[in-house]
Amino acid sequence: MIDAIDEAVRTLIRRHALNNGDVEVVFDAPTRDWAARRNAPTIDVYLYDIREDLRRRTNGSADVRDVSTGYVVARNSPPRYFKFSYLVTAWTQRPEDEHRLLSAVLTCFLRFSVLPQEVLPRSLDGFRPLVVGIGVPPADDRPVSDVWSALGGELKPSLDLTVTAALEPGTATDTEIAPPVLEEPRVRIASGDIREAAPIRGAGRRRTLVAPPPIPRSIVTEEVAGGSGELLGRRVRMRNSPDPKPVDSSPSP
């Protein structure tokens, strides 16, 4: 993937910063010996750091949907975002020309927030947008002066270019995806007990709880009398009706 990002950056600089001019675009380490061998105008895009953007890491799982139906068919681990940092420098015989080239590169990348589709090689088809940033301050633990010291070269004007790419781990989780329910639910009303309901396609067997029939009740009126037998009032209450007693239909002796 790194070589594909390099090629996309090279194509973007050539088309939109240099107008397909004669300036070379290379990815060499700008060491002292390398600089001494340069004899043509060159823009060097040196990849000096690769690290994960921990601020964008997420937990859980990401849904994978079928393109034609939109249904969730799997759940994978979420993507991990990595930041590729490039040291962009210009090399000519005159400092003014170097500044002019750096200005063209800066203006070019200010026009794009992501690498445009037209410069991406086929190997990057289907990837999430590649976010670019220009002139971004480097990490606190990797200042530009340390980069130049490690290269053994002399400090000169440069641009810090970053490309952030989302990489899919491609490891499936243990989450099992059930098939979608394609039929409307059916309701059946029964009485008195718990019975097995007819299963619906795409769902397991389930049990349906049916409420028992209501208990018959009757209204009872009671008279309330005082100590001397006078009627003080009446009260009404509800009580369960007893089961009807069987009637003895046998003839009396």
Q: What is the CATH number of the domain that holds 134?
A: 3.30.2000.30
Mean pLDDT of the chain: 77
Kindly indicate the confidence band of residue 96, based on its pLDDT and cuts at 50, 70 and 90: very high
| Within-domain flag for 86 | yes
- Top pLDDT among 77 and 221 is at 77
Q: How far apart are CA 57 and CA 82, in angstroms?
A: 10
| Within-domain flag for 153 | yes
Q: How far apart are CA 112 and CA 122, in angstroms?
A: 20
| Within-domain flag for 76 | yes
| Within-domain flag for 24 | yes
44 - beta bridge partners? 26, 89
| Within-domain flag for 192 | no
Cα separations in angstroms, 119 against 12, 22, 48, 106, 163: 6, 19, 22, 17, 14
* CB 5 within 8 Å of CB 119: no
| Within-domain flag for 196 | no
Q: Count how many domains the chain has.
A: 1
The pLDDT of residue 239 is above 70: no
| Within-domain flag for 40 | yes
pLDDT in tens, 166-224: 887 655 554 556 677 777 777 877 655 555 555 555 555 555 555 556 656 666 666 66
| Within-domain flag for 193 | no
Place of tokens 């009126």: 221
The answer to whether the predicted template modeling score (pTM) of the entire model surpasses 0.75 is no
Place of tokens 């979608």: 180
Range of the domain at 77: 2-167
- Top pLDDT among 235 and 33 is at 33
Predicted confidence at residue 79, as pLDDT, reads 79
